[in-house]
């Protein structure tokens, strides 16, 4: 239920940068059920990439989540994501100031 950049035995924690690319690729390839399942972790997580925080993770999360939402075309899914998208956007604005 989470993305890994390699073998889960070597990478015990998800990496959102690599995971964003994986999730978008899955959605664009028509693997919408898998991409939707992975989106929960992306919605909840704002900064952690593996074992340390990184500032671009909120933007990558927004990109991946909206790419899946675009392919799904399900208004209820869009509504469920909105609080996470809004929170991530607010974090980006805060980091800019």
- Which whole-number Å values give the CA distances from 11 to 36, 61, 63, 96, in the listed order? 22, 20, 23, 31
The model's pLDDT over 41-85, given as tens digits with 9 standing for 90+, comes to 889 988 877 677 788 889 999 999 999 999 999 999 999 999 999
The model's pLDDT over 1-16, given as tens digits with 9 standing for 90+, comes to 788 877 878 877 788 8
CA distance 41 to 36: 10
**Strand locations in the chain, DSSP E?**
48-49, 52-53
Q: What are phi and psi of 53, to 5 degrees?
A: -80, 145
How much is the mean pLDDT over the chain?
90
């Amino acid at each position: 239920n989470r993305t890994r950049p390699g073998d889960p035995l070597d990478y015990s924690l998800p990496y959102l940068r690599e995971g964003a690319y994986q999730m978008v690729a899955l959605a664009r390839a028509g693997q919408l059920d898998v991409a939707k399942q992975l989106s929960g972790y992306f919605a909840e997580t704002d900064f952690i990439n593996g074992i340390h925080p990184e500032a671009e993770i909120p933007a990558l999360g927004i990109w991946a989540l909206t790419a899946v939402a675009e392919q799904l075309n399900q208004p209820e899914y869009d509504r469920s994501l909105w609080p996470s998208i809004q929170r991530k956007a607010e974090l980006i604005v805060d980091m800019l100031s």
